[in-house]
Homo-oligomer: A and B are copies of this chain.
């Protein structure tokens, strides 16, 4: 029988995949499962985007240009301009989700064996994109006790080798909710300029800022040739399924290289682009309402979690995730136990164990990632379930 590649074998599984049978088992036994593990918002997609697809009356659904429809790229340039980011349409490439934008960026700047530095905990799928590209992740650990602030620049610099090509940040962060300050970003800028690296910023949650101001790395002076931004319509307009993202850079060599990868896969999805272009006309009131909703959810969740004995959860400034430290020593075991062996009034929760968000072996074992994409009442119930579960859990380290 023919074999599987080392690359394929080393591709990470989703951090929650192992739990899915237990979640299904819990549901089969009649329990209600609150899904705190997923990043699929329940917010409605803007009407204007849905209607544009329903009213799209082409008779042939043709390939679009490989870099996306020109009208959409022009529209995106206008959108960023309104957000004080000045871009030409040629500096924006439409991709199949933010995922594809990251893959294009990695393949354009890295060969097999090259290295990318990422502050951990980080979005688990970065492991997948780097593995697929044959690139090694070098983590720099951030600390829950200072709200996952950017680790000291010296700890990044220590990791830079001849193989280092870039630093990746997610701002605001999935899974931490951390919003980097301008000082943190400028320190990263100075570092990448000093060592001639790229700075890749995943800014897909930029509309979800609850405290402070979002600073795009595209606005950092002097970083024009080094800055690569990953964007996506998935969370902004709650339409994860349309699979539309963007790769943004003012570095024309990079964009020309990425275009060759884009040409090989022909084009991004047409219907998704129709939705994305129409969504540019989403009224500000939509975002205001969504933001108010998330602030309330965050407060209910995080304030609630912090009242549970032994739980520590810094308040996120953006996105819709938080990382909580629990009084447990193996979140994988706990996450399985709570689904399999626990319920409170017929309810239980599914959480994402923290270790999947760390590259350093052994870290994150007492942490979980919780997404606050549920209704406030459900979040209140979920916090109560967690409180009772930790109280009942034989492995509670406070005991």
Contacts and interface: CB of A to CB of B under 8 A. Distances in A.
A265 interface: yes
A264 B96 contact: no
A268 interface: yes
Contact of A7 (B111, B127, B253): B111
Given A53-B53, A226-B2, A44 B60 contact: yes
A234 to B, nearest CB: 8
Interface string A97-122: 10110010001111110100000000
Contact of A107 (B7, B45, B109, B272): B7
A305 B43 CA distance: 58
Given A64-B241, A240-B61, A241-B63, A264 B4 contact: no
Contacts of A157: none
Contacts of A264: 11-12, 99, 125, 127-129, 132
A43 B58 CA distance: 12
A44 B62 contact: no
A257 interface: yes
Given A241-B64, A257-B11, A134 B132 contact: no
Interface in A1-18: 1-9, 11-14, 17
A251 B40 CA distance: 31
Contacts of A63: 40, 240-241
A323 interface: no
Nearest to A274: B271
A42 interface: yes
A225 B2 contact: yes
A166 B111 CA distance: 23
Contacts of A97: 265-266
Contacts of A58: 45, 50
Contacts of A107: 5, 7-8, 11, 132
A75 interface: no
25 contacts: A1-B251, A2-B198, A2-B225, A2-B251, A5-B110, A5-B111, A6-B111, A8-B257, A11-B107, A12-B264, A17-B263, A40-B63, A41-B60, A43-B60, A44-B59, A50-B59, A50-B61, A53-B53, A96-B243, A97-B266, A112-B112, A125-B264, A241-B269, A241-B271, A243-B269
